[in-house]
Structure 1
Amino acid sequence: MKKWLMCVLILLMMAPAVQGKDNKKSNNTSKAVQKKAESASPAQEKETPFQALIVMEASTGQVLEEVNPHLQHPLASVTKLMTAAIIMEKLESGAAQLNETITVSGAASKMGGSQVYLKEGEVFTLEELMKAIMVASGNDAAYAVAEHLAGTTDAFVEEMNKKAKRLGMNDSEFHSVHGLPPSSEDQADVSSCHDLMILARDLLKYPKLLEWTALQIEPFRGGAFIMHNHNKIIGKLPGTDGLKTGYYSKAGFNIVATAKKDGLRLIVAVLGSPRAKIRDAVAIERFKKYMAQYQMAVLSKKDQAFGEALQVPDGMVTTVQAVAAADFSYPLPREKKAAVKNEIRLPKEISGGIEQGQTLGEVEFFLDNQSIGKVNLISPVTIEKAGFFKRLFR
């Protein structure tokens, strides 16, 4: 009996130790699982590479890819593309000259952010300051030019919004000439990928602008200051020659870029990337992808003959071969060129004489039964009307 009581007492004394050991093991296991979960969560969280994106072929406006195309987003320095559009318009009309001089005001010299450190009273040509805007994204340069050309920056901003309306940029609203973050009482410059494509296509009319946006490095102030292009895709991707980047914290990293290869020009807009490297990688990947998939297919060349010769019974010469009035190319998936069909519309004969360049008909091109374009067919020569007796003899 005594032995049995002793065994019970020993077992009761050992139970807390065993339970403590099990609890300790359980706690250690829970901590290990929690630690593993905590270490795994950041890795599992993926950064959203952008808020909005669009890829477009420039000549036709054909959209190749789009994500949130009408999302209104803060632009940051991409705003300067509209600033540039107003300036290029003034240059084209003769209202401004590249060699005209601009004296820097005190207000311009006080601009923060990206700048070329203009000093009050300094004098530069409009072309020098345009390079500072498009290469170094100089907020001070943008302010100085806008103030010079419109009298005040407010008046210049008014012109920016008027042009946006003319172009049909309905998602856009401009409040500055430079895109700096707005103060608490001001509003941000906003636009969408859709609108930025409209603006970029308008800017591509100006070869001079692309000369500036393609510069990787450019001296300023007689070489005392070296400007480096904020668009780092230039130099990384052959054929890239524009256009503009932008960043501040709320806007994220933005870009509108363009590149050309074998006649195919693409424009890519990326808005709201969390990092510059992600933004640039997204744009480069899209350029490479669609440059590989698409080609600029030549469907007609100027003076190329189409259709059968037309009869000109009243002419000194009795037949004429209709030719294309212009070149026509269209961006196509590489495997689709053979699928393009054309429909030639020409009369069998033309009465009277014919003038050189006279429209005789048209050729229309189709892909998968959808029209993709038309080209007028014209006479390549003048054919005089034959005299009465010659026509009678015939």
Structure 2
Amino acid sequence: MKRLLVFVVVISFCVLNLAGYATARAIAGKKGAPARQSKEAEPPCKSFIVVEAQGGKMIDGSNINERRAPASITKLMVAYVVMGKLATGGIKLTDKVTISKEASKIGGSQVYLKEGEVFTLEDLMKAMMVASGNDAAYAISEYVAGSKDEMVNLMNAQAKALGLADTEFHSVHGLPPAKGEKEDMTSCSDLAVLARELLKNPRILEWTSIQNDTFRDGKFVLTNTNKLLGKFAGADGLKTGYYSQTGFNIVATARRGDMRFIAVVMGSPTGKIRDSFAMEKLQKAFAQYRMMNVVKKGEVIDQDVFLVDGKYRKMKGVTEKSFLYPMEVDKRGAITREILLPERIKGEIKEGQRLGELVVKLNGQVIGKVNIVSPVYVPKANLFTRFIRRLGLNI
């Protein structure tokens, strides 16, 4: 019995020593092994750009020409086509639009249009721009262009006219393509250009700045998908877009005082990250830049132009318009102005006639040009006066 007890004790001692040895080896192995590299943080987006809205100066950006699917931001081009048709008088916002069977069947984000329902074009524009209604975009396209396919043709024609080299549309709503269909494609750079053009029409911001509204006689609530509204000071547009394959996108704009910036963010992993990144970039732009009034409209150019045939011998031109330029607060460079005017001009001079050009440069680089025009009408001098002048007499 005693021998058995001794044997058990010896065996237990050996097992404990072996376990301790194994543990020690494992710990030593961990200490000696290189530390596993932590997973790199996912970037906030795949591409982005920030531009000053009036002149288009690029403030910041990355992968600005990378082609990506815009998702519902596609509807901005639908809006651009509509605004063009409105400008020519071909359609009116009060026009009545009857919903087709095809429009009623469009899925995704929608306002649940029913076949045979009738809405004004303006109601449908709000449904598209505020609540991102895919069915509304389809119904608008059918009414304005005659069909969805013809609207796509118009959208691509406008993209070409605007010089949007990275852009190609295949839908009017931006939904993921079905099997065998092509994806809508664009870039941050192209969307910034489109946004600048849209901002020339005040009606666009009237719609995109709406946080909540009603539709279908108050029975349906329109909620804006742009969460920067009411959250970021000065934000009043423009459009968001998302589906899983392309990520979260936004074309955001905000105005403070005399400055407006546009931020385009594409391919963010979440809506929250997208919005935070857009706000961060807009805030930085507002903090770093101030608008400088480089040229004032109607400013007299202190250089005479001799009028060969005019009633008056000479005149000074004025600037046709103002020229504002965003300048970095702590990096104000040397702005110079070059006057380009002919020495003499023949014939009568009409009021507002272009005489020459004022070229504005920053550190030697051209940043803008403003026409120099005549402030008044100058008729031709009579025949006798012109004859005497040709003889070299000053009259």
TM-score class, shorter-chain normalisation, is 0.7 to 0.9
Alpha-carbon separation, structure 2, partners of 1:229 and 1:322? 49
- Is 1:371 paired with 2:370? no
Aligned to 1:209: 204
Any stretches of 5+ residues in structure 1 without a counterpart? 1-9
Alpha-carbon separation, structure 2, partners of 1:122 and 1:156? 21
Instruction: Please report how far the alpha carbon of residue 247 of structure 1 lies from its aligned counterpart in structure 2 after TM superposition.
Output: 0.6
Q: Identify if the C-alpha distance between structure 1 residues 347 and 144 changes in structure 2 by more than 3 Å, giving closer, same or farther.
A: closer
Aligned to 1:161: 156
Aligned to 2:296: 301
- Is 1:108 paired with 2:107? no
Q: Identify if the C-alpha distance between structure 1 residues 69 and 14 changes in structure 2 by more than 3 Å, giving closer, same or farther.
A: same
Instruction: Please report how far the alpha carbon of residue 15 of structure 1 lies from its aligned counterpart in structure 2 after TM superposition.
Output: 4.7
Aligned to 2:17: 18
Alpha-carbon separation, structure 2, partners of 1:123 and 1:225? 15
Contact 1:262 1:296 in 2 (8 A): no
Aligned to 1:6: none
Report Cα offsets for 1:283-316 as digits up to 9, x if no partner: 1111111112122211111211222566779876
Alpha-carbon separation, structure 1, partners of 2:329 and 2:28? 58
Alpha-carbon separation, structure 2, partners of 1:222 and 1:241? 25
TM-score under structure 1 length normalisation: 0.86
Contact 2:333 2:363 in 1 (8 A): no
Aligned to 2:173: 178
Select 1:87's aligned residue among 61, 82, 92: 82
Aligned to 1:268: 263
Alpha-carbon separation, structure 2, partners of 1:178 and 1:352? 55
Aligned to 1:5: none
Contact 2:319 2:371 in 1 (8 A): yes
TM-score under structure 2 length normalisation: 0.85
Comparing 73-82 with 339-348, greater Cα deviation is found at 339-348
Describe how 1:168-247 pairs up with structure 2 within 5 A.
168-247=163-242
Alpha-carbon separation, structure 2, partners of 1:374 and 1:30? 70
Any stretches of 5+ residues in structure 2 without a counterpart? 1-8
Comparing 158-167 with 92-101, greater Cα deviation is found at 158-167
Instruction: Please report how far the alpha carbon of residue 250 of structure 1 lies from its aligned counterpart in structure 2 after TM superposition.
Output: 0.5
CA RMSD of aligned residues (A): 3.2
Aligned to 2:5: none
Aligned to 1:326: 321
Residue correspondences, number: 382
Aligned to 1:119: 114
> Given residue 231 of structure 1, which amino acid in structure 2 is its aligned partner?
N
2:141 partner SS: helix
Instruction: Please report how far the alpha carbon of residue 366 of structure 1 lies from its aligned counterpart in structure 2 after TM superposition.
Output: 1.1
Select 1:98's aligned residue among 93, 100, 115: 93
Alpha-carbon separation, structure 2, partners of 1:249 and 1:295? 38
Q: Identify if the C-alpha distance between structure 1 residues 127 and 315 changes in structure 2 by more than 3 Å, giving closer, same or farther.
A: closer
Contact 1:297 1:337 in 2 (8 A): no
Aligned to 2:376: 381
Describe how 1:355-366 pairs up with structure 2 within 5 A.
355-366=350-361
Alpha-carbon separation, structure 1, partners of 2:270 and 2:112? 26
Report Cα offsets for 1:70-129 as digits up to 9, x if no partner: 211111111111111111111112221100111112221222111111122111000000
Describe how 1:48-67 pairs up with structure 2 within 5 A.
48-67=43-62
> Given residue 186 of structure 1, which amino acid in structure 2 is its aligned partner?
E
